[in-house]
Amino acid sequence: MKKLMLGNEAVARGAYEAGVLVATAYPGTPSTEVTEYIANYSDIKSQWSVNEKVALEVGIGSAIAGARTVVSMKHVGLNVAADPLMTVSYTGINAGLLIVVADDPSMHSSQNEQDTRYYGIFAKIPVLEPSNSQECKDYVKLGLEISEKYDTPVILRLGTRVSHSQSLVELKERNEVGLKSYDYNPSKYISAPINMRKRRVLVDERLLNLEKEAESISINEIEYNSKKIGIITSGVAYNYAKDVVLDASFLKLGMTYPLPTNKIAEFINSCDTVYVFEELEPITEQKIRSMGYNVIGKEVFPISGELSCEILRKVLLNEIKEVLPPFEGLPQRPPVLCPGCHHRGPFYILKKLKLHVAGDIGCYTLGGFAPLNAIDTTICMGASVGMAHGFEQARGIDFAKKSVAVIGDSTFWHSGVSGLIDIVYNKGHSTVIILDNSVTAMTGHQENPSTGKTLSGEDTPVIDFEALGKSIGIRRTRVVDAYDLMELEKVIKEETNAEEPSLIITKRPCILKKGIKFDFKTYVIDENNCNGCKLCLKIGCPAISFDGKIARINTALCVGCGLCKDVCKFSAIDIEVKQ
């Protein structure tokens, strides 16, 4: 039976069919759905971990204990997990360990672009790259086999277009491989120098064997057509190439590290001109150049952003498709915080108080854009807390009194918590605001330690920020309703002024969270009282707009949070109770 599947869904299917028993992840676009789909298979024990490092550590434990395991994350998540990654390369695994990493060329939803193949090279572990959903499924199985055959973790590199496109997949039955026996083997699994010096040699031997494997493995495939043009490519770039130049010859690399050098040489020697068409960094190209061959690559293809048919068409065929003239000067439509979003109130007040705000990664990063404009910096998951302390270290306590860190609940558990301990320990005075909307919203509403539910929907303890603050020595902890602007302003003023670290927790569930019911009320503009001052527009609620004279509320969008009412100085915003 064939099924139309998202690449990520096909990875999950592959895990199921390959007899995987454990799956862990931290959500991150474009990788999130891998684990969401795996959670639908009850034969696999799956979980959200608090961050990618923990996810990989759980995965390593489970693989060494004998269960085929899949760990998933996005490219920047692998930075967090890099520490255990480097060492598990040495210890090896027992049952198969597949690390699924989704890159995001063009940064559709990420803070940077990274090429995960570098981690494969860095850690000396193989990298596989599927180009469609069928291959996603097949390469999961193959990856786990390679993992077990060579006693190595394997990286499955996806990209936005492979993760988030759907194509047809042939479904098969699950192969119950069961648990492998667990062997007590300290010289392999204890990463002390005395053991790892010996393992280091094995890692390099393994790599040589993997190079041989790369020559014969079926997923490194040559397809000869006209030999005038040869294209060496992988992943989604293969599809773009196939669409543009059907009659060229192809070397499609399913394994992009280590590379099959003999096969590459054979291919280059048989074709007149050879192009290397790879997304992001010139990794294959550089390897080929180091072999002494001249190929055409990044001097004509862009190194950043997604590749496309257009790019190849222009370079190879010198062809530019006629397109309809674009419409000039159209207003952009950037993403915005939803109507009624819990983050809007805190940002409105931070802006009003003119505070320096160290921001973090999540929906609330949108508070950095117009009209809220309430964030100074954003670097990576969990960085806000440490950065706020850095502000103080650089500019002193008076600056600390004019600055705060804001971080979401999920992000706080991910890696903000260690920054907070650092502030207390180093006698900082920062104010940290945890925007607690009780869900991992940005990636599509996943559970986390604040939600009281596990990935599979089971009840679990809600971990309490207040108690945590207390236990690490924070004496000032305040909990505020995120919709109560007056109280927010008062508390933020008091806490930023205090000469000790403080924790403010703003509470209200994300309005898109499943099962959240709002009162059936909306707000409307009282046309007689509205004098068109536009003050209410400053909160950036998409439900409010200006009609040229007065403000208007779109009742289809309004969820009745009441923020705009508190902002209006002329009492022009009224409650309207819906039936």
Q: What residue ranges bind other proteins (CB under 8 A)?
A: 2, 4, 29-30, 32-33, 108-109, 132, 160-161, 164-168, 236, 238-240, 242-243, 308-310, 313, 321-324, 326-327, 329-338, 363, 366, 370-371, 442-444, 534, 537, 540, 542, 544-546, 556
138 or 436: CB nearest ligand SF4 = 436
Q: Is 309 annotated as a binding residue?
A: no
Cβ proximity of 522 and 555 under 8 Å: yes
440 part of the interface to ligand SF4, by CB under 6 A = no
**What is the smallest separation between the CB atom of 346 and other proteins, expressed in angstroms?**
17
Region from 142-150, 318-326, 387-395, 541-549 binding ligand SF4, contact rule CB under 6 A: 541-549
Q: Is 541 annotated as a binding residue?
A: yes
The residues, ordered by sequence, that sit 6+ positions from 329 with a Cβ below 8 Å of its Cβ are none
Q: Which of other proteins, ligand SF4, none has residue 389 at its interface (CB below 5 to 8 Å by kind)?
A: none
Closest CA to 220 of 126, 88, 332: 126
Beta bridge partners of 552: 545
Quote the strand ranges of 396-520, DSSP E: 403-408, 431-436, 476-481, 502-507
Residue 136, token pair as written in the block: 């996603």
Say which DSSP state 413 is in.
I
562 part of the interface to ligand SF4, by CB under 6 A = yes
Phi and psi torsions of 351, nearest 5°:
-65, -45
201 or 330: CB nearest other proteins = 330
Q: Which of ligand SF4, other proteins, none has residue 560 at its interface (CB below 5 to 8 Å by kind)?
A: ligand SF4
Closest CA to 19 of 127, 138, 141: 141
Q: Which of other proteins, ligand SF4, none has residue 510 at its interface (CB below 5 to 8 Å by kind)?
A: ligand SF4
Which position among 119, 240, 391, 523 is part of the footprint of ligand SF4 (CB under 6 A)?
523
Q: Which of other proteins, ligand SF4, none has residue 161 at its interface (CB below 5 to 8 Å by kind)?
A: other proteins
Which of positions 345-364 make contact with ligand SF4 (CB under 6 A)?
363
**What is the smallest separation between the CB atom of 309 and other proteins, expressed in angstroms?**
5
C-alpha separations of 362 from 109, 267, 410, 429, 436 in Å: 10, 46, 9, 25, 12
Question: What is the number of other CB atoms lying within 10 angstroms of the CB of residue 276?
Answer: 28
3 state SS of 181: coil
Size of the site for ligand SF4 (CB under 6 A): 25
Which position among 12, 357, 561, 568 is part of the footprint of ligand SF4 (CB under 6 A)?
561
**Amino acid found at 165:** S
| DSSP secondary structure of 205-217 | HHHHHHHHHHHH-
Torsion of CA 333, 337, 340, 345, to 10 degrees: -130
**What is the smallest separation between the CB atom of 538 and other proteins, expressed in angstroms?**
8
Which of positions 81-140 make contact with ligand SF4 (CB under 6 A)?
none
Q: Which of ligand SF4, other proteins, none has residue 563 at its interface (CB below 5 to 8 Å by kind)?
A: ligand SF4
553 part of the interface to ligand SF4, by CB under 6 A = yes
Q: Which of other proteins, ligand SF4, none has residue 30 at its interface (CB below 5 to 8 Å by kind)?
A: other proteins
Helix (H) or strand (E) holding 239: helix 235-244
Q: Which of ligand SF4, other proteins, none has residue 511 at its interface (CB below 5 to 8 Å by kind)?
A: ligand SF4
58 part of the interface to ligand SF4, by CB under 6 A = no
434 part of the interface to ligand SF4, by CB under 6 A = no
**What is the smallest separation between the CB atom of 364 and ligand SF4, expressed in angstroms?**
7
Region from 163-171, 298-306, 417-425, 556-564 binding ligand SF4, contact rule CB under 6 A: 556-564
Question: What is the number of other CB atoms lying within 10 angstroms of the CB of residue 108?
Answer: 12
433 part of the interface to ligand SF4, by CB under 6 A = no
Q: Is 363 annotated as a binding residue?
A: no
**What is the smallest separation between the CB atom of 525 and other proteins, expressed in angstroms?**
14
Binding pattern to ligand SF4, positions 361-400, x when CB under 6 A?
Answer: --x-------------------------------------
544 part of the interface to ligand SF4, by CB under 6 A = yes
Which position among 10, 280, 530, 564 is part of the footprint of ligand SF4 (CB under 6 A)?
564
Closest CA to 141 of 165, 119, 169: 169
Region from 71-79, 229-237, 332-340, 459-467 binding ligand SF4, contact rule CB under 6 A: 332-340
| C-beta contacts of 518-521 below 8 A and 24+ residues apart | 518/340, 518/559, 518/560, 519/560, 520/560, 520/577, 520/578, 520/579, 521/560, 521/575, 521/576, 521/577, 521/578
Question: What is the number of other CB atoms lying within 10 angstroms of the CB of residue 398?
Answer: 10
3 state SS of 483: coil
448 or 502: CB nearest ligand SF4 = 448
**What is the smallest separation between the CB atom of 11 and other proteins, expressed in angstroms?**
15
The residues, ordered by sequence, that sit 6+ positions from 136 with a Cβ below 8 Å of its Cβ are 7, 8, 10, 11, 14, 130, 156, 158, 162, 169
Backbone Cα Rg of the chain: 27
Say which DSSP state 412 is in.
I
312 or 573: CB nearest ligand SF4 = 573
Cβ proximity of 173 and 50 under 8 Å: no
| C-beta contacts of 412-417 below 8 A and 24+ residues apart | 412/382, 412/385, 412/465, 413/50, 413/51, 413/448, 413/449, 413/450, 413/463, 414/26, 414/50, 414/51, 414/381, 414/382, 415/51, 415/80, 415/381, 415/382, 416/360, 416/382, 416/384, 416/385, 417/382, 417/468
Q: Which of ligand SF4, other proteins, none has residue 340 at its interface (CB below 5 to 8 Å by kind)?
A: ligand SF4
Give contact residues for ligand SF4 (rule: CB under 6 A): 337-341, 343, 363, 437, 441, 510-512, 523, 539, 541, 543-544, 553, 558-564
Positions at the binding site: 530, 533, 536, 541, 558, 561, 564, 568
| Binding-site sequence positions for [4Fe-4S] cluster | 530, 533, 536, 541, 558, 561, 564, 568
